[in-house]
Amino acid sequence: MSLTREQIDAWKEQLRLEGQQCTGYTDGVLAALVYVILGVPGIKIADLAGFEGPDLWKLAVTAHHNRPHIIDTLPDIIPLSRGERFAVTQGLRRQLPELPVADDLLGLVEVVSGPMVAKTLRMIVYPLAPRMGAATH
């Protein structure tokens, strides 16, 4: 039995959603940003016509600043990977000027919280990994 193109595409999407990366403005990220922006009273979907990813990010940062609780109500139907969900929620909470992008959660933590926090988490997650720059005797 061979798989159909639709089954293969569905499998690829499932694998993407299980991933820990955020590569940019995917459909899920754009949907999450629109959801946050539309949480502000008076904004309609037609008002967002012509806006692209970076512009939607700036609007979402402003919308989140005015109504921070909206980010906590993101519906599960929005197709976000683990990394994308982290990037959107933490990026908006920290009012970052750009969507955080990285290949894994620790990379996203570094973008969002800084290299020291990421280094500390790496040391906790990978305690037996060799330390770079460790003193040798």
pLDDT tens figures, 97-126 = 999 999 888 899 999 999 999 899 888 887
Query: Could you report the per-residue pLDDT of 36-75, keeping only the tens digit for each?
Result: 999 989 999 999 999 999 999 999 999 999 999 999 999 9
Contact 57, 29 (CB under 8 A): no
- Rounded to two decimals, the pTM is 0.79
